[in-house]
Amino acid sequence: MTGTPRAPWPLAAAGLVIAFLALLPLLYLVIRAFGAEASAAAFLLRPRTAGIVTGTVGLALLVGAGTVGLGVPVAWLTSRTDIPGRRTWAVLTAIPLAIPSYVVGFAFLAFFGPRGTLQSILAPLGVDRMPSIGGLLGAALVLTLVSYPYVSLATRAALLRTDPAIEESAQLLGDRGLSVFRRVTLPALVPAIAAGALLAILYALSDFGAVSLLQFDSLSRAIYLQYGASFDRSLAAVLALILVVLTLTLTWGERRLRSRAASYSSRSRRPPTVVVLGRWRWPAVAFLTVVSGLALVLPVGTIAWWLVRGVNQGEPLRLVVDVAMGSFVMGGVAAFAAVGLASIVALISARHRSRLSGFVETATYAGYALPGIVVALAIVFLATRTLPFAYQTLGLLVVAYAVRFTPQAIGSIRSGLEQAGRGIEEAGRSLGDGPVGAFFRLTLPALRPAIVAGGALVFLTVVKELPLALLLAPIGFETLATEIWDAASSGFYARAAGPAALLLVISVGTVAALLRAEERAR
């Protein structure tokens, strides 16, 4: 690595402030949890606490097993077989990742739940009660359906990178068919599969929307209930800390597995061999149809069904537009701020590599790895104690978003900076620009696509975000996410359908746009 100059002090100071802000929730949580020392130990030993932790672990295990069970076959079918419509299936099976969990949770509730779509359809047959969709199994099902693409995408990438010569070697050394798959293909995929499954589990652990709509007491819902119901909010901090330890451990594990998966991949020149499915092709198509049916068609169909019903019953769509405008403005401001913060971090890490840059980067990413409900809770604590005037203002919410989602914009801006290089800036200097002038006149315009991409990502994430909006938004201010959550948890499915439909369009549209950009880049 060539030496890079030290960051000028205003830049370094700004970086440190961002790092401090990103770590603040975590720091405060630790202080708060240990502040509750007297009751914390007893609280931890309470059977209910143990039940919540066991339930959360159970959810993690079910989602892990479910996403592997769906994701690996999906990956294999869409990358290594002659299944009809392979490319289309690859796209369709990836889309659920973009749909917020609470939208799918709402759809399942509105379909299977009491007074839901299914019951309305079955009512003429005399069915007047539905079995509950909620609880552990319902939550695990919904979270599996939205997070299995983590496994299928990671596995698919690994399968496409596998050198066909590896399987051929196994065959020449005496293995055939299934035994090649079992002894060579599959073991070589294990790190990629496991990394994907850990991401899915992390998603499930951090998820707040689906578990709370389906009323399953995982840690994140328990944190919310504890925060709302109890006098001693420190106990919520204790639960939050347990969740933080769990997620940070898994994040660390995922990083290690990902680097192992990278060392397993080969630089193949030949495309992977394609397995002819023969008479298995229709069962395979049926499998993908069921997966996409549950993860995509059922939510879309149910939401459409309730939307039409709501409009027919005079549900005012005007409200949806108002809520959407509020969400978009908030998302736009947050994205703008996040891009500014991300540019500072990216600039430090790309141009001034040092211990300081390493620290600033790690700190921002650590804040990002925390579950949303935990960050929301910590900010509520902090604000009520130290900044009571800021509590429940839009300003605080936007700052929280900007700090939390900065890492989403860092990646693209940093690679943009690395691509632009110092060359153009130095050329500008040699033609008479000062250092600051050269940056603003030359480097910044060159970075525009990267900045727009990073900002768009933050914008979309903020628009879909639930727990921070729920805990921090001013009373009376609804976002698309809180509107769905409020309406759905009170059983007003038709009212939730409008914002849910809008979020579906945004999510699916994003994936489509990304895929088209990728196609064009190729």
Partner 1 sequence: MTDSDGALPPELALRTWGLRRQFGDALAVDGLELDVRPGEMLTVLGPSGCGKTTVLRLIAGLDTPDAGTIEIGGRIVSGPGCAVPPERRRVGMVFQEVALFPHLSVRENIGYGVRRAPDRDARVRELLELVDLPGAGLRMPHELSGGMQQRVAVARALAPRPDVVLLDEPFSSLDAALRTQLRVDVREILRAAGAASVFVTHDQDEALTLGDRLAVMVQGRVEQIGTPEAIYGEPATAFVATFVGTANLVPGEYREGVARTRFGTVRLVGPASEGAGRGLILMRPEHLEVDVALDDPSGADTWRVLGRRFTGMRIQYSIASTDGERLWVEAGHAVRRLHVGDPVHLRLREIETVVFPAGGARPEA
3-state secondary structure of 81: strand
Minimum CB separation of residue 175 from partner 1 in Å reads: 6
DSSP characters for 326-359?
Answer: HHHHHHHHHHHHHHHHHHHHHHHHHHS-SHHHHH
Q: How far is CA 57 from CA 50, 51, 63, 243, in A?
A: 11, 10, 10, 11
Give 181's contacts (C-beta < 8 A, 6+ positions apart). Answer: none
The conformation of residue 97, written as its DSSP 8-state character, comes to G
Query: Which among 345, 117, 385, 119 is positioned nearest to 233, based on CA atoms?
Result: 385
Residue (45 or 178) nearer to partner 1, CB: 178
| Residue 418 touches partner 1, criterion: CB under 8 A | no
Residue 433's beta-bridge partner residues? none
Six token digits for residue 371:
């579950």
Query: Which among 443, 456, 442 is positioned nearest to 411, based on CA atoms?
Result: 456
| Residue 184 touches partner 1, criterion: CB under 8 A | yes
Residue range at the interface with partner 1 (CB under 8 A); choices 5-13, 265-273, 424-432, 492-500: 265-273
Instruction: Please select the residue that binds partner 1; options are 104, 146, 188, 237, rule is CB under 8 A.
Output: 188
Cα distance between residue 187 and residue 167, in whole Å: 12
- For partner 1 (CB under 8 A), the number of binding residues is 24
Residue (188 or 503) nearer to partner 1, CB: 188
| Residue 447 touches partner 1, criterion: CB under 8 A | no
Six token digits for residue 213:
């709509």
Q: What is the 3-state secondary structure (H, E, C) of 86-100?
A: HHHHHHHCCHHHHCC
Minimum CB separation of residue 185 from partner 1 in Å reads: 10
Cβ atoms of residues 334 and 401 within 8 Å: yes
Instruction: Please select the residue that binds partner 1; options are 58, 119, 136, 163, rule is CB under 8 A.
Output: 163
Minimum CB separation of residue 268 from partner 1 in Å reads: 6
The pair phi, psi for residue 273, each rounded to 5°, is: -70, 145
Residue (176 or 355) nearer to partner 1, CB: 176
| Residue 176 touches partner 1, criterion: CB under 8 A | yes
| Residue 187 touches partner 1, criterion: CB under 8 A | yes
Residue (125 or 172) nearer to partner 1, CB: 172
Minimum CB separation of residue 162 from partner 1 in Å reads: 9
3-state secondary structure of 275: strand
Minimum CB separation of residue 276 from partner 1 in Å reads: 14
Quick count: other Cβ atoms within 10 Å of Cβ 274?
13
Instruction: Please select the residue that binds partner 1; options are 170, 248, 394, 508, rule is CB under 8 A.
Output: 170
User: Which amino acid is located at 317 in the chain?
Assistant: L
Instruction: Please select the residue that binds partner 1; options are 124, 178, 229, 269, rule is CB under 8 A.
Output: 269
Q: Which helix (H) or strand (E) holds 285?
A: helix 281-292
Minimum CB separation of residue 163 from partner 1 in Å reads: 5
Residue (166 or 424) nearer to partner 1, CB: 166
Residue range at the interface with partner 1 (CB under 8 A); choices 182-190, 201-209, 417-425, 479-487: 182-190
| Residue 31 touches partner 1, criterion: CB under 8 A | no
Residue (190 or 285) nearer to partner 1, CB: 190
The pair phi, psi for residue 238, each rounded to 5°, is: -65, -45
Instruction: Tell me whether residue 160 is exposed, middle or buried, using C-beta atoms within 10 angstroms of its C-beta: 0 to 12, 13 to 18, 19 or more.
Output: middle
Quick count: other Cβ atoms within 10 Å of Cβ 353?
17
Minimum CB separation of residue 169 from partner 1 in Å reads: 5
| Residue 257 touches partner 1, criterion: CB under 8 A | no
Give 348's contacts (C-beta < 8 A, 6+ positions apart). Answer: 7, 11, 12, 15, 356, 357, 360, 361
Cα distance between residue 74 and residue 290, in whole Å: 11
Instruction: Please select the residue that binds partner 1; options are 4, 81, 119, 171, rule is CB under 8 A.
Output: 171
Residue (175 or 232) nearer to partner 1, CB: 175
Query: Which among 420, 411, 409, 413 is positioned nearest to 443, based on CA atoms?
Result: 420
Instruction: Please select the residue that binds partner 1; options are 1, 45, 125, 172, rule is CB under 8 A.
Output: 172
| Residue 268 touches partner 1, criterion: CB under 8 A | yes
Instruction: Please select the residue that binds partner 1; options are 181, 264, 336, 492, rule is CB under 8 A.
Output: 264
| Residue 215 touches partner 1, criterion: CB under 8 A | no
Cα distance between residue 316 and residue 324, in whole Å: 13
Residue range at the interface with partner 1 (CB under 8 A); choices 116-124, 169-177, 197-205, 427-435: 169-177
Minimum CB separation of residue 84 from partner 1 in Å reads: 23
Instruction: Please select the residue that binds partner 1; options are 166, 275, 394, 508, rule is CB under 8 A.
Output: 166
What is the contact surface with partner 1 in residues (CB under 8 A)? Answer: 163, 165-166, 168-176, 184, 187-188, 190, 263-270
